[in-house]
Amino acid sequence: MRINLSSRHFRASENLKSFAKDEVMRLKKYYDGIIDCEIILEKQKDIRTCEIVAKVYGTVLTTSVESHDHFKSIVMAVDKIEQQLRKYKAKIRNPRSKRTEEKVMYS
């Protein structure tokens, strides 16, 4: 999994960068098929935003979280992506897809 980190309107400290990368690496235990993950940290007056874009086979999962602390917004964004990954994984592993239902109906 490739991880790209970018910051808008400020320079991210090494501590913040390593924290963000460690949190995103946590996603690998939920789904190993993540191709690329982009973390975008943004600072506006009192609001800190973390946006995560995860590319998996066949789709792109995105989330954006705002809070007053970058660390908090990173954790909340990773939690949201975890939920999306679980849903995506369940959807892929479901043996009764629409294609098999259509085959049964027309045979």
**pTM higher than 0.95 for the full model?**
no
- The DSSP symbol for 91 reads H
Whether residue 94 is predicted with pLDDT greater than 90 in this model: the reply is: no
CB 98 within 8 A of CB 92: no
11-48 pLDDT, tens per residue?
Answer: 999 999 999 999 999 999 888 899 999 999 999 999 99
Q: What is the pLDDT of residue 58?
A: 85
Residue 41, strand partner residues: 7, 50
- State the residue for tokens 């946590």: 26
Which CATH architecture describes the domain 2-106?
2-Layer Sandwich (3.30)
Alpha-carbon gap, residue 18 to 6, rounded angstroms: 12
Q: How confident is the model at residue 98 (pLDDT cuts 50, 70, 90)?
A: low
Q: What is the pLDDT of residue 93?
A: 86
- State the residue for tokens 């190993």: 32
**Higher pLDDT pick, 61 / 100:** 61
